[in-house]
Amino acid sequence: MPAKAAAAKSGSLSHVYDHIEKLLKRYSPPFAVGPGGKVGSKRHYDLISRKGSGGDGKPELWFASVIEQKDYIGFYFMAPAPVRDRIAPCLLKLLKGKSCFHIKAVDAELLAEMKAALDLGLAHYKREGRV
């Protein structure tokens, strides 16, 4: 890939990361900011509940994260089944596995759907007494 094309691709992913991180920051508080930071060349931002995940003895429960990967931005959303069942199809098609969404571009619609999913998750965590 020519250097110019690689720079453009990397710049657009950085832009995607920035939008998702800005969205996640709206949820702190009630969620705490996790370790996040930078691991190697990857930026990441984590939101956690300090009230634990219930029964497994862990003092923290991850809520959502954004991690800058090589070819996509990983949006990790630890949504319980009742929330996952209500995620919009345009967002759900980006889900790879149980909690990782591979995001390569964002627009107002996708960000709105991500916010809606996070709001559902927050409401669920509140009902469960986890925030």
Mean pLDDT of the region 6-31: 81
Structure tokens at 116: 């809606």
Q: How far apart are CA 31 and CA 47, in angstroms?
A: 6
Q: pLDDT tens digits, residue range 113-129?
A: 999 999 999 999 899 88
Tell which phi-psi region holds residue 33, choosing left (phi > 0), alpha (psi between -120 and 50) or beta.
beta
Mean pLDDT of the region 19-34: 93
Q: pLDDT tens digits, residue range 90-116?
A: 999 999 988 999 999 999 999 999 999
Element (H or E) spanning 122, and its range?
A: helix 108-127
Q: Strands 37-39 and 100-103: what pairing?
A: unpaired
User: What is the model's pLDDT at position 24?
Assistant: 96
Beta bridge partners of 64: 47, 77
Q: How far apart are CA 83 and CA 59, in angstroms?
A: 22
